[in-house]
Amino acid sequence: MRRKLLLTVITLLAFVHSNAQCAMCRAVLESEEGQSTAQGINDGIMFLMAIPYIIVGTIGYFIYRTYKKTQ
């Protein structure tokens, strides 16, 4: 169980270092001087990408917990 939890945490944190911008967005945003807009766009994309995983994980946890109680 501890190994599965560790693997889950590592998997969830691994996306923090990935780049989620498409090629067109990257080309437009890299032409900016300060790069602050590009970082903000990338953070927003990462946030939007993480929400479905959090929702599915939460639902899965409650299903698992309910299943364990019935046994």
pLDDT for residue 34: 73
Q: State pLDDT tens for residues 12-33.
A: 777 655 655 677 777 777 777 7
The pLDDT, as a whole number, for residue 56 is 95
pTM of the model: 0.49
Instruction: Give every CB contact of residue 46 below 8 A, 6+ residues apart in sequence.
Output: 15, 16, 18, 20
Give the tens place of pLDDT for each residue, 23-63: 777 777 777 777 777 778 778 888 888 899 999 999 999 99
**Tally of domains in the chain:** 1
7 contacts 42 by C-beta, under 8 angstroms: no
User: Is-contact 23 29, C-beta < 8 A?
Assistant: no
Say how many C-beta atoms besides its own lie within 10 A of residue 26's C-beta.
Answer: 15
Q: Are 12 and 53 in contact (CB under 8 A)?
A: yes
Domain enclosing residue 35, as ranges: 2-70
Cα-to-chain-centroid distance, residue 66: 26
